[in-house]
Amino acid sequence: MNTQIAIGLGLALVALFGLDGGLNDWQATIFTARKGTDLIEWLAFWR
């Protein structure tokens, strides 16, 4: 991955977090974080 792609992806993530915070009251971010922690717990169980 070169620098331009990394900067583009970083800006896209910042924009998506900004839109989620402004328009959706952080609900998508909270949902994704909760599902991520569930996945980590599930993977730890199967380890």
Domain, as residue range, for 15:
3-46
For the stretch 1-47, pLDDT in tens is 899 999 999 999 999 999 999 999 999 999 999 999 999 999 998 77
Q: Answer whether 30's CB lies under 8 Å from 21's CB.
A: no
pLDDT of residue 1: 86
pLDDT of residue 8: 98
Number of structural domains found in the chain: 1
pLDDT of residue 15: 97
> How many residues does the structure list for the chain?
47
Cα→Cα distances 23→9, 12, 31, Å? 21, 16, 15
In this prediction the pTM is 0.74
Q: Answer whether 20's CB lies under 8 Å from 29's CB.
A: yes
Distance CA 42, CA 34 (A): 12
